[in-house]
Amino acid sequence: MSNTKFIAGPCVIESYELLDEVARTIVGINHELGIDIVFKASFDKANRTSLSSYRGVGMERGLQMLADISSKHGLRTLTDIHEAWQAAPVAEVVDIVQIPAFLCRQTDLIVAAARSGKILNIKKAQFLSGEDMRHPYNKAMESGATDVWLTERGNMYGYNNLVVDFRNIADMRRIAPTVVMDCTHSVQRPGGGAGVTAGNSEYIPAMALAAKAFGANGYFFEVHPEPQRALCDGSNMLQLSELQRTISKLL
């Protein structure tokens, strides 16, 4: 089995039926390619462009759905937290706790997640360099974490735009043994869609390959069977049917 880490799933929990469809596809890819894709979905998207943006089903219901998916399909799971008190109940269900990019400097959040005993994935903020991620990493390790991943997701470049400086991947590899490229959030156009986040999903496969050239050993893909109908971040999600082809190129 490949040592490369893969994370994939819908941006946010829309329904159990969506989770089940995506999970079945991931199980098939795992079997075909001999890998172990971690299933990702958010129970709440607290960082939204507008008050009317869809946020999710909430923590209690969302964690139950993730538990059901893990039990039914035998997949490891990942979800993000936004407040320190969420770390303990989330860690009872998922295998990997994720810190959102905008919150990666929140000390109490990182400490609580580190003390959960689970793998911790910290996403690099859009306003930090790869070298800056030494400090969140050290906070987590000094608070009891044993396995911390760092994730690149681009930097703000003017208004409504992100750019990826792939040197950040090489810099973070000198800090953490696992550095993940978020291939879908990195093609976002934050707030660039008249009240919603826009994006350029056609660049996702190239983002992944470029990250590999700079030493990434993990890849994060948000996927949906019908991105144009997704309730969150549809314009920067990968079509579910393209996931296996994209991963195959990386392998």
CB atoms within 10 A of CB 59: 18
In angstroms, the CA 124 to CA 62 distance is 25
How long is the chain?
Answer: 251
pLDDT, averaged in runs of 10, over the chain (251 residues)? 90 97 98 98 84 88 98 98 98 98 97 98 97 98 98 92 95 98 90 68 95 98 95 90 98 95
Could you tell me if 75 and 38 are in contact, meaning their C-beta atoms sit under 8 angstroms apart? yes
CB atoms within 10 A of CB 15: 12
In angstroms, the CA 146 to CA 120 distance is 9
Beta bridge partners of 98: 80, 121
Would you state the pLDDT for residue 188?
A: 83
In angstroms, the CA 234 to CA 63 distance is 22
Q: Look at strands 162-163 and 198-199 and give their pairing.
A: unpaired
In angstroms, the CA 221 to CA 240 distance is 10
In angstroms, the CA 16 to CA 152 distance is 29
Would you state the pLDDT for residue 71?
A: 98
What the chain holds in terms of domains, given with CATH numbers, is 5-250 (3.20.20.70)
Could you tell me if 188 and 196 are in contact, meaning their C-beta atoms sit under 8 angstroms apart? no
Would you state the pLDDT for residue 46?
A: 80
Phi and psi for 152 in degrees, rounded to 5? Answer: -85, 135
Would you state the pLDDT for residue 56?
A: 87
